[in-house]
Amino acid sequence: MKKKSYIMAILATSVLTACSSSGNDNTLRTLTAETSQVYSILEKTPSDGFLFGHQDATVYGIGWENKEGESDVKRVCGDYPAVVGFDLGELEVGNLSNLDKVSFDKMKQEIINQYSRGGVVTLSWHARNPLTGGDAWDVKDTTVVKSILPGGKNHQKFITGLDKVADFINSLVTAEGVKVPVIFRPWHEHTGSWFWWGKDLCSVDDYKQLWRMTYDRFIEKGVDNVLYAYSPGGGCSSEEYMERYPGDDFVDLLGFDYYQLGTDVEAYREVMNKTLTYLTKLGREHGKPIAVTETGYEAVPDSIWWTQTLLPIIEKYPVSYVLVWRNAREKVNHYYAPYPGQVSADDFMKFYANERTLFLNDINKK
């Protein structure tokens, strides 16, 4: 047996209580037992290793799309990622597929499949610009966030879109009637300014209000199967990381996104180690699990990246999971996990065999 089976503690239903941002202190946020169990997985994982995740892992890969049960990671190592990510971008405008042309019906089925296999699901959200109608990267207007907050001219339009997201998450129910728990990662990489919610596009207070408005609306919509992941861009200081932090009552997990850019592996190591060092401290101080919510090295041209770059960094810190980005089927060389025959595939097998890396077979929910 390559690794001891990974027994997950099962928690009774727990209730996280928090004052809503409106100060209405009888607003209880409740979590389903299954969502509390995922939180327990995130808390307990670092004592055994870290969960490996892959974005869009089971909906498409290099040379394939919409093949039930398929995954590039599984094609290489025979096992699914423990964590699978999907993106909700354009759900808010009523589209049937997301910004990467993944149908929301297919996404819903794959979310349920990943949960039914015993895995964890995370959802990011590259929301379209609610003021200009552009995409998430449309940053020409610095009034967007202000316009969708309570009192703003686009507030009701934004709430209508946010409700579509809440309804989708509420609809993630297995055939047995279990609501699938998801890690929801809104308003990410906001310490950069490439998204309309970035730091140069809104004030600190407006960003926090945006997060809390999202949180409050989900409570009003009865969403009880979400854990909130806060994930700035890596490379910022601990002070910058916390500057826009919405508060302990509105966040369940501390993450960050950072990629190796080009061949400068030392620069990647330096930023990853610097960020994980302060994130470990923040996680302990705030009582939150930590994760690398997005990372990778595009096209993984380094044949030993997995065991000589990624693993030696991550295994030094109490990280719950690491998610590498998607294997685009429509963009040449825009992939972050190996596929059979890819130059890093052999090294990925060694990464998979390492005791500290936890894939689906390592999550035993008995």
Residues of the shown chain interacting with ligand BMA in the complex, contacts defined by CB under 6 A: 87, 99-100, 126, 325-326
Q: How many residues does the chain have?
A: 366
The residue whose two tokens read 């963009």 is: 331
Q: Residue 100 or 252: which CB sits closer to ligand BMA?
A: 100
Smallest distance, ligand BMA to C-beta of residue 121, A: 15
Q: Residue 185 or 326: which CB sits closer to ligand BMA?
A: 326
Smallest distance, ligand BMA to C-beta of residue 118, A: 25
Query: Can you read off the two tokens belonging to residue 104?
Result: 């929301």
Residue with the CB atom nearest ligand BMA in the bound state: 87
Smallest distance, ligand BMA to C-beta of residue 179, A: 25
Beta bridge partners of 256: 292
Smallest distance, ligand BMA to C-beta of residue 137, A: 9
Smallest distance, ligand BMA to C-beta of residue 87, A: 5
3-state secondary structure 314-358: HCCCCEEEEEECCCCCCCCCCCCCCCCCCCCHHHHHHHHHCCCEE
Burial state string for 199-230 with b = 16 or more CB within 10 A and e = fewer than 16: bebbeeebbbbbbbbbbbbbbeeebbbbbbbb
3-class DSSP assignment, residue 191: coil
Q: Residue 19 or 99: which CB sits closer to ligand BMA?
A: 99
Q: Residue 135 or 243: which CB sits closer to ligand BMA?
A: 135
Q: Residue 18 or 99: which CB sits closer to ligand BMA?
A: 99
Q: Residue 327 or 342: which CB sits closer to ligand BMA?
A: 327
Residues in contact with 185: Cβ distance below 8 Å, sequence separation at least 6, in sequence order: 122, 123, 124, 125, 228, 229, 231, 255, 293
Query: Can you read off the two tokens belonging to residue 76?
Result: 């290489």
Smallest distance, ligand BMA to C-beta of residue 126, A: 5
**What is the separation, in whole angstroms, between the first and last Cα of the chain?**
17
3-class DSSP assignment, residue 162: helix
